[in-house]
């Protein structure tokens, strides 16, 4: 369209002029989209109000303080069926966090082992890791959870025929029963030594750094710290005559009593989430380490830096920058996937407040809103950490 034609059209129609001006067109589009979005939400809310009114429901969180009247078989805090729905929700949150933390720890260890195996020169190890990763990644996580749970329930023996590990731990289809420690006063000394060891380790790292800066002398920092944190307390523990009595679980009737128990639901969820996430972490680690240019290794070798030091000083710091962001999002995925707990009856957030509480009170809106909000908070926290980390480690480029 020529300039003249434009001008002619603009003279004819002020609306067309507005539409053809870049700035005002943006404003118009924004107003229209705002109205549409607003109308959409307004309709939804209006429908909800009418629908709720029709069945005589209101929206209120008061139900949270009514007794929940259901039991939860695994709880980190005191809880009974007389406790409130709110308390049930807290139990659910803690259970989600519990399995998430344990899962993240195990998945990280497994994942790094897998990643390193995928880079191994050893052909068998390499291919075994490959097969593991491909199998696990291509099967839904829910299926892993159900499979592991089913194996625990159906393949492990009954309590009477439990697999005995050591003398005090028993594995059967009701769970994993382990001795419960009962601390004697002398144990305080061991604990104090441990804390002292941790403090010493922190101090010693700084000190060793200082000595190295000043004189060039190298201490075997890792081994000394390990000795301080683990060695000395362990020694003290035996010297003081092992001041922990163990409450060993015993078979009473159809099940074990006493000790501590990891329930099949927890074990299944924990293992399955770790197994699944580890496969993804393994790929991330492999990709991260192989993304570090081989020239970096060569340059370090040419300077006479040994293989181990090269890893520690050159490769790992660079690989971590690549690994950590996707790693955190795997952690987030694991946490979100823990919501599948409901399939095997592990009492997490979804199973407590979004499941039984919801069904008992009929407060779908409030319960689901709470569940969604809780997961959003987890996600926001993790992505806030990720952004902070990314900013901190970003390589400075021209």
Partner 1 sequence: MPETEKTHAELAVKIEAMHKWYGQFHVLKNINLQVRRGERIVICGPSGSGKSTMIRCINRLEEHQQGDIIVDGVELTNDLKNIETIRKEVGMVFQHFNLFPHLTVLENCTLAPIWVRKSPKAEAVATAMEYLERVQIPEQAHKFPGQLSGGQQQRVAIARSLCMNPRIMLFDEPTSALDPEMIKEVLDVMVELAQEGMTMLCVTHEMGFAKTVANRVIFMDEGEIIEENSPDQFFDHPEHERTKLFLSQILSH
Partner 2 sequence: MSAPQYAPGKHPDLPAPSTLAGPLAWVRANLLSSPSNITLTLLSLWFLWSVIPGALNWFFFDAVYSGENRAACRAAGEGACWAFIGEYLKLFTYGFYPEESRWRVNLAFVLMWLALVPILFDRVPHRKYGLYYAAAFPFIAGWLLVGGLGLAPVTTDKFGGIMLTLVVGVTGIAFSLPIGILLALGRSSKLTIIRVFCVGFIEFIRGVPLITLLFVASTMLSYFLPPGTNFDLLLRVLIMVTLFASGYMAEVIRGGLQAIPSGQTEAADALGLKYWQAMRLIVLPQALKISIPGIVNTFIGLYKDTTLVIIIGLYDPLGIGRAALANTSWIGLSTEVYIFVAIFFFVSCFAMSRYSLYLEDKLETGHKR
Nearest to 309 by CA among 228, 198, 220: 220
Residue with smaller CB distance to partner 1, 153 or 311: 311
We find the least distance from the C-beta atom of residue 35 to partner 2, in angstroms, to be: 10
We find the least distance from the C-beta atom of residue 277 to partner 2, in angstroms, to be: 13
| Residue linked to tokens 């996600």 | 379
For CA atoms 203, 207, 210, 212, the dihedral sign is negative
Q: Strand, helix or coil at 380?
A: helix
Residue with smaller CB distance to partner 1, 19 or 222: 222
The footprint of partner 1 on residues 196-255 (CB under 8 A) is 212-218
302 binds, among partner 1, partner 2, none (CB under 5 to 8 A by kind): partner 1
Q: Strand, helix or coil at 256?
A: strand
317 binds, among partner 1, partner 2, none (CB under 5 to 8 A by kind): partner 1
We find the least distance from the C-beta atom of residue 153 to partner 2, in angstroms, to be: 7
Residue with smaller CB distance to partner 2, 39 or 44: 44
Residue with smaller CB distance to partner 2, 151 or 227: 151
We find the least distance from the C-beta atom of residue 269 to partner 2, in angstroms, to be: 13
In angstroms, the Cα distances linking 5 to 9, 11, 12, 329 are: 6, 10, 11, 54
Strand partners, 280: none
Number of residues counted as binding partner 1 (CB under 8 A) = 29
Residue with smaller CB distance to partner 1, 15 or 395: 395
Q: Strand, helix or coil at 5?
A: helix
Q: Does 390 bind partner 1 (CB under 8 A)?
A: no
We find the least distance from the C-beta atom of residue 373 to partner 1, in angstroms, to be: 39
For CA atoms 291, 296, 300, 301, the dihedral sign is positive
The footprint of partner 1 on residues 302-341 (CB under 8 A) is 302-306, 309, 313-314, 317-318, 321
151 binds, among partner 2, partner 1, none (CB under 5 to 8 A by kind): partner 2
We find the least distance from the C-beta atom of residue 364 to partner 2, in angstroms, to be: 4
Cα–Cα distance, 288 to 315 (Å, whole number): 10
Cα–Cα distance, 103 to 333 (Å, whole number): 11
398 binds, among partner 1, partner 2, none (CB under 5 to 8 A by kind): partner 1
Residues of this chain that bind partner 2 (CB under 8 A): 26, 29-30, 33-34, 37, 43-44, 47-48, 50-52, 54, 120-125, 128, 134-135, 137-143, 146-147, 149-151, 153-155, 336-337, 339-340, 342-343, 350, 354, 358, 364-365, 368, 371-372, 375-376, 378-380
Structure tokens at 77: 């805090």
In angstroms, the Cα distances linking 206 to 193, 202, 209, 212, 213 are: 20, 7, 5, 10, 11
Residue with smaller CB distance to partner 2, 201 or 371: 371
Cα–Cα distance, 382 to 118 (Å, whole number): 28
Say if CB 357 and CB 84 are below 8 A apart: no
Structure tokens at 130: 């490959």
Residue with smaller CB distance to partner 2, 228 or 344: 344
Nearest to 283 by CA among 78, 101, 132, 87: 132
In the list 43, 299, 377, 384, the residue contacting partner 1 (rule: CB under 8 A) is 299
Residue with smaller CB distance to partner 2, 180 or 336: 336
Structure tokens at 103: 């899962």
We find the least distance from the C-beta atom of residue 389 to partner 1, in angstroms, to be: 14
214 binds, among partner 1, partner 2, none (CB under 5 to 8 A by kind): partner 1
Say if CB 332 and CB 103 are below 8 A apart: no
Nearest to 130 by CA among 122, 139, 118: 118
Residue with smaller CB distance to partner 1, 22 or 392: 392
Cα–Cα distance, 178 to 167 (Å, whole number): 10
Cα–Cα distance, 398 to 395 (Å, whole number): 10
Strand partners, 371: none
115 binds, among partner 1, partner 2, none (CB under 5 to 8 A by kind): none
Beta strand 169-172 pairing with 175-178: antiparallel
Residue with smaller CB distance to partner 2, 65 or 135: 135
In the list 13, 60, 301, 390, the residue contacting partner 1 (rule: CB under 8 A) is 301
Residues that bind partner 1 (CB under 8 A): 212-218, 293, 295-296, 298-306, 309, 313-314, 317-318, 321, 395-398
């Amino acid at each position: 369209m020529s300039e003249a034609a434009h001008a002619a059209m603009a003279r004819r129609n002020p609306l067309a002029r507005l539409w053809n001006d870049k700035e005002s067109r943006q404003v118009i589009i924004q107003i229209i989209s705002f109205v549409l979005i607003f109308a959409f939400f307004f309709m939804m809310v209006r429908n909800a109000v009418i629908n709720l009114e029709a069945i005589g429901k209101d929206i209120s969180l008061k139900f949270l303080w009514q007794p929940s009247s259901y039991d939860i078989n695994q709880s980190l805090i005191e809880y009974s069926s007389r406790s409130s729905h709110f308390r049930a929700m807290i139990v659910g949150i803690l259970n989600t966090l519990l399995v998430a933390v344990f899962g993240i720890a195990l998945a990280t260890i497994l994942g790094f082992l897998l990643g390193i195996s995928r880079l191994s020169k050893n052909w068998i190890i390499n291919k075994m890791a490959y097969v593991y990763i491909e199998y696990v990644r291509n099967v839904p996580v829910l299926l892993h959870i159900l499979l592991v749970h089913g194996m625990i329930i159906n393949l492990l023996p009954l309590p009477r025929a439990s697999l005995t590990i050591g003398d005090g731990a028993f594995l059967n289809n009701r769970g994993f029963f382990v001795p419960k420690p009962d601390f004697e006063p002398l144990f305080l000394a061991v604990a104090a030594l441990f804390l002292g060891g941790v403090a010493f380790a922190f101090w010693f790292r700084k000190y060793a750094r200082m000595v190295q800066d000043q004189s060039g002398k190298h201490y075997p920092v890792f081994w000394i710290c390990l000795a301080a944190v683990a060695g000395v307390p362990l020694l003290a523990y035996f010297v003081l005559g092992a001041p922990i009595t163990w409450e060993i679980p015993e078979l009473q009737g159809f099940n074990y009593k006493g000790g501590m128990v990891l329930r099949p639901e927890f074990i299944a969820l924990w293992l399955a989430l770790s197994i699944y996430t580890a496969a993804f972490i393994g790929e991330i680690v492999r990709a991260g380490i192989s993304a570090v240019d081989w020239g970096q290794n060569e340059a370090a070798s040419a300077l006479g830096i040994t293989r181990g030091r090269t890893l520690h000083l050159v490769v790992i710091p660079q690989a971590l920058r690549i690994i950590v962001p996707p790693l955190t999002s795997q952690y987030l995925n694991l946490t979100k996937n823990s919501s599948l707990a409901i399939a095997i009856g592990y009492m997490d957030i979804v199973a407590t407040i979004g499941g039984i509480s919801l069904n008992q009170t009929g407060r779908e809106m409030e319960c689901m809103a709470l569940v969604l909000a809780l997961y959003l908070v987890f996600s926001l926290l993790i992505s806030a950490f990720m952004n902070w980390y990314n900013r901190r480690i970003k390589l400075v480029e021209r």
